Every structure is written in C-alpha cells, then in structure tokens.
Chain A
C-alpha cells in the first residue's frame, strides 16, 4: 500500500513537472525574439582582372548560419552604393552557400545596367533568412579598370596565335626547301589525263577561271593550276582557250600562260588571243562560254575558281557537248552542281591543295600545312570534348566558350 502511495505521488509529481514544463515552453514561444543570422564575413572587393573594366569581383566568408549554426540562410544580396553611407542598391541575388560574385554591367552610358569605369563604388553583402537580415561590413572604394587584354576572348586569341605560329613556321620551312608532303588528289591526276585525251583527239582545252576577281583566293589558286595546264598544253602542242570575265584576271591569265609556254620551251607556240575578255555580265558571259563549247567542242573543260549561279548552266552544256570536265570551287552552294555534272570536282579546300601541290609555292604550301595542323588540333579537341561532355566534365567544354 505504502509503495502504491509513493508511486502515485511520484507520478503526480512527474505529470506536474511535465505540465509546468509545457506551460513554460508555451510562454517561451510567444515572447521569442527574432535573432538575426551571422553576417557574411571578410568581404573583399577588387577589380575583375583582364576585362574591359566594367566589372568588380567580390568574395566573402559564409555566414555562420549558412550550412551550420541555425542553418537558416535563404540567400545573399549584393548591394552597391556610390558612398559608404549609401544609398545601397541591390545588384544581385545569390543562392545560399555562395562565397563569390561578379558585379558586371555594360559600357553604354544610357543603358540601365551601365557600369562606369574608374568610378568609386562601395559594396556590402546581406545575408537573408526568412525573417531577418544581417549585413557585412561595407568595403570600398573599389573601381573597375579596363586592361589591355580581355580574358573572356581567350579562345579566339589562342586560335589566332596557334594558327599564325603554324603558318609562319611552315612557310619558313617551305622556303628553306623542306619537302612538305601533300597527298595526291584524284582531280589532279585527272588533269594530265584530260590534257592527253585532248591531244589525242586534236581538240582544244577550255579553261574557265570563274567570276572571281584577281583578289579571290580561288582565282589565285586557279592561276597556279592554269600555269601547269598551259605548260602541258605547250608540251603536247594542243590549243588552249581561256575566256575571261574580269579584265584584270585576263591580264594575269595572259602573263601566266605566256610564262608557261616559255618555261616549256615553246614561246613560238604562244598565241595571245587564246586568253581573251568576253564580258563582265554574268549571264552574257555564260552565253559566250556556252557558245564556245558548242562551236569548238573542246575535249576537256576546266572550271576552276569562283562560280555562282552559272555553274550548272556551263557544266551542263559541257556535259551535253561530251567534254571531260574538271571543276573546283570554294563556293559551297555551287559544289553540288559541279559534282553532278562534272567528271572530277575539287571540293572547297581541295582547290587550294591542288594549287599548292602543283605550284609548290612556299606561301600556299605553308598555309596548307598550317591548316592541316590546325585541323588535327580541332579533331583532338572535338574527341576530348565529346568524351568530356559524355561524362559531364564541363570544365573542358567551357574553355571553348567565348565571353563578351
């Protein structure tokens, strides 16, 4: 019995203590004060290095309540002012856990997001919870200064430097007489064959330089090939017809053909009228060239250079006339027409390669080699990038992002 009474009293005491405790807790929750979070510490602001001067970088240490302590930080707010006293304007909101930010604006003064260069700014970072805020110390003055080099455009600079180095190196190498290998191209082998065929048939060879000017790379490449063709023509004593669209191109073509006849030892066989001006009206020129094809029935037609809408009209007429046709252009939209209507087509860069292969000109050879090395680099980068992207290694892929 005594034990029961003691147990009962103990239980009552326990209940009372629990009830009292609950009452106290209830009182506590009604009078609880809003406790601000720990402020971000150690705020530092400095000019963003290697940019155009319209940005400031900031770093700070996390608030003690971010990821630890009460762990109730929702976000940080980056505030900026022209003087330490303010007024501060919010520039950015950042997620919890962030310890760095970039305050970047544009250089145009009328723009709402204008960020003046070399202007003193003061910064503070505010840690925000659901119901309270805590400000860091104000830092400043700090000013954005433009550097000579903008690191955002690094990839472009690297590409320019690498390609320039390759080009200069290989041009020098070619000039010193180093043997730079270029693989044989199907179209080039066909050139000799086609000249041979024309000789056998006793028919002329038609060489069209296209609609480009003397400044176009495709036309320049075409001159080198014309030189080779003219030399063979002089050796085999076949006749050559070169109708021109541009008067300057015509003058250069005449010189090229003449030089080839000289170097073949047949200056007597050179006829200046074989290289002549037709007109510089696109379709009138086509009409003229088509007329030659149908009247003179050349055994071989070369279309090497810059071509536009006239490509198919000429190549089709040549096919109807039964000539062997070799074409080459860097105009991507015209290549399909040449592919369908000609026997051999030098696609895009192959035209330059053919020219370098035949001419052995150091500048052309060096540039071609440099391009090959650049291509090899591109292939390697693409393969690594492909693997990196597949495994989610974003760092490598990001290196190819060009900033503004």
Chain B
C-alpha cells in the first residue's frame, strides 16, 4: 500500500480528534461532561462531512465517497422510517385497527373501512418486485396516474392557464389622466406610472412573442419570424434571470456552510 493515502488518512484522523477534544471543552455551563463530549463529536463530525463533500471540488477522493454514501444511506433510511411513522402510524393505523393503535401508542380515531383501500393499493404496488405478479402493480399505478391527473387538471387549467391569460390582459395606459398629467408627474420609480405602462406593455409583448416562438404550424418568416425572434430573446432573458437566481441560491448555501465552519466550528468570525 502506498504511503500517501495512509499519511493523509492519519492526518485527517488526528485533526478530527484534536477538534473533538477542543470542541468538547466549549460546551455551555450546566451540561454534563457526557453531553459536552457528544456535542463536540457531532460538531466536529458535521464539519468533517462538510469538508469531505467540498473536497470534491478539487478532485474525487475517498473522503467525498464516504460522505456521499453516508448521506445516501442515512437519507434513504430517514425517509423510510419517516414514511412509516407519519403515514402508516399517524394516518392509517388509527382508522383500521385499535390493537395497532395501542401498540404504537397513537389515539384510535374510528373504524373507517375505506382506509383499507390505500394499503391494498400499496401492496399491489410492491407486487412489482414479484416476477409473476408484476402486472398487478399497474392497477395501483393506474389509480395514482388517474387521480393525480383528475385532481390536477382543473387546478392547473385554472391557475396556470385561465388565470394567467387573465393576468396578461393589462391596460396599456395605467391611471391615464392625459399627457399633461403624465409629464408633470413623470417619475422613474418602480411603482410610477411610466414604469407601470412600460412593464405592462413588455408583459403583453413578451407573452405573445413567447407563445409565437412555440408555434410549430407556421414557418417563422417575416413579421411572424420577427415576433418569434423577440420571443426567443424574452426566453433567453428569463433563462438568464433563472440562472442568476440559481447562482444566488447556490452561493447562499455556500455562505451558510462557510458560516457554520468559520463560526460554529472554528469560531473566528468577527463582530
């Protein structure tokens, strides 16, 4: 075995232990020594995992792999146990079985026989694992797809279609009192008349040209082509905004992690 990895692993382990010892000493007053040691360990472990994940930016390495696998394993187990306690124990058992409710110490509500349908569909869904009964899972899937489509279609048609069309029907002249009033009260503030007029116009134009870009039955030539080109510009601006927001979001996460490392773990933040 090469020496390099052994030295690096040993160094990381040493740093871990030193950090654990130091952080165990800084526990709040009144807490027991056991609590302090545990607190020190978890803080150090969280910092180690953060650094292990960030180390991927340099290159793939065993520490990153360890953190990633730990994360995948823990989150799978967490969601599974959470699903059991919040769905089966909290919602199902109090409605189908008094014995199970008592066993899991939840208040029994009443026998509601239609609550047997979801567990039956759940079992059908699991039949996917059976080599012969796999087809049975399609019934449960059909139910899921059907109810989801049924529940969502009217809502989406209302909120994402009709209401959005209605939101595009904006007046071009906002609070129009004549040219005199427009020029005397001219302002470039975001809530001012001029900005409202321009933004209403841009919203309408952007929506129309955006739709024209996604119009596939006619070749994009002449005025139609010009509108479509404007549409793609509007889309690109939207993507730019989306990209910018994503960068902001990711940097926020980085700031959050670095604040944890520098403040909670190392305690070197001023102010």
A and B, direct touch (CB closer than 8 Å): yes
- Seen from chain A, the residues whose Cβ lies within 8 Å of a Cβ on chain B are 153, 155-156, 159-160, 180-183, 215, 281, 283, 287, 332-333, 335-337, 339-340, 347-350, 353, 368-369, 372-373, 375-376, 378-379, 381-383, 385-386, 388-390, 392, 396-397, 400-402
A381 touches B165 (CB 8 A): yes
Q: List residues of B whose CB falls within 8 A of some A CB.
A: 60, 68, 72, 141, 145, 153-154, 157-158, 161-163, 165-166, 168-173, 204, 207-208, 211-212, 214-220, 235-236, 239-240, 242-243, 246
Contacts A159-B161, A215-B145, A281-B72: A372 and B212 contacting too (C-beta < 8 A)? Answer: no
B208 touches A383 (CB 8 A): yes
Instruction: Name B167's closest neighbour in chain A (CB-CB).
Output: A400
Which residue, B145, B166, B173, B219, has most C-beta atoms of chain A within 10 A? B166
> What total of A-B pairs shows CB separation below 8 Å?
100
Contacts of B216 in A (CB 8 A): 182-183, 353, 368, 372
Query: How near does chain A come to B98, taking the closest CB pair, in angstroms?
Result: 27
State A349–B236 Cα separation when bound (angstroms).
15
The 4 closest A-B pairs by CB, nearest first: A385-B169, A400-B166, A336-B239, A336-B243
Q: A335 — which chain B residues lie within 8 A by C-beta?
A: 239, 242
Contact, CB under 8 Å: B214 / A348: yes
Do the beta carbons of A382 and B169 come within 8 Å of each other? yes
A-B contact pairs, 20 of them (CB 8 A): A159-B157, A181-B217, A183-B217, A183-B218, A287-B60, A336-B246, A340-B243, A347-B235, A350-B214, A369-B217, A375-B211, A382-B169, A382-B204, A385-B166, A388-B169, A389-B170, A389-B172, A400-B162, A400-B166, A402-B162
Cβ contacts under 8 Å, B173 to chain A: 390
CB distance from B206 to the nearest CB of A (A): 11
Do most interface residues of chain A lie in helix, strand or loop, or is the interface mixed? helix
Whether B211 contacts A379 by the Cβ 8 Å rule is: yes
Contacts A333-B246, A347-B235, A372-B216 given; does A389 touch B162 at CB 8 Å: no
Q: What is the CA–CA distance of A378 and B204 in the complex, to the nearest angstrom?
A: 12
- Whether the Cβ atoms of A183 and B219 lie closer than 8 Å is yes
A125 to B255, CA, bound (A): 65
Contact of B169 among A159, A283, A397 (CB under 8 A): A397
Are B165 and A390 in touch, CB under 8 angstroms?
A: no
**A369 vs chain B, min Cβ distance (A):** 6
Q: Are B165 and A336 in contact (CB under 8 A)?
A: no
A159 vs B157: C-alpha distance in the bound complex, in angstroms? 8
Complex Cα–Cα for A353 and B173 (A): 38
Contact partners of A159 in chain B: CB under 8 A? 157, 161-162
B197 to chain A, nearest CB (A): 10
> In the complex the two chains form, is A160's CB within 8 Å of B157's CB?
yes
Shortest Cβ distance from A159 into B: residue: B157
From A369, which residue of chain B is reached at the shortest CB distance?
B217
CB neighbours (8 Å) of A340 from chain B are 243
Give the distance to chain A from B252, nearest Cβ to Cβ, in Å: 16
* B215 engages A375 (CB within 8 Å): yes
Interface centre among A340, A376, A400 (most CB of B within 10 A): A400
**Which B residues are CB-close (under 8 A) to A392?**
171
* A217 CB → nearest B CB, Å: 12
Are B158 and A156 in contact, CB atoms less than 8 angstroms apart?
A: yes
Closest CB in chain A relative to B131 CB, distance in Å: 13
Residues of A with C-beta under 8 A to B235: 347
Q: Which residues of A contact B217 (CB under 8 A)?
A: 180-183, 369, 372-373
Complex contact A402–B214 (CB within 8 A) = no
Question: Quick one: which of B162, B168, B169, B207 has the most chain A CB within 10 A?
Answer: B169
Verify B212–A156 contact, CB threshold 8 A: no
- How distant is the Cα of A401 from the Cα of B218 in the complex, in angstroms? 31
Closest-CB distance, A211 to chain B (whole angstroms): 15
Report the separation of the CA atoms of residues A159 and B162 in the bound assembly, to the nearest whole angstrom.
8
7 new A-B contacts, CB < 8 A, other than A390-B172, A397-B166, are A281-B72, A350-B214, A369-B217, A386-B168, A400-B162, A400-B163, A400-B165
- CB of B212 within 8 A of CB of A379, answer yes
| Complex contact A401–B204 (CB within 8 A) | no
A281 to B75, CA, bound (A): 12
Looking at the assembled complex, report how far the CB atom of A190 sits from the nearest CB atom of chain B, in whole angstroms: 16
Query: Which residue of A183, A333, A375 is within 8 Å of B220 (Cβ)?
Result: A183
User: Measured between alpha carbons, how far is A381 from B208 in the docked complex, in Å?
Assistant: 10
Contact B207 A382 (CB under 8 A): yes
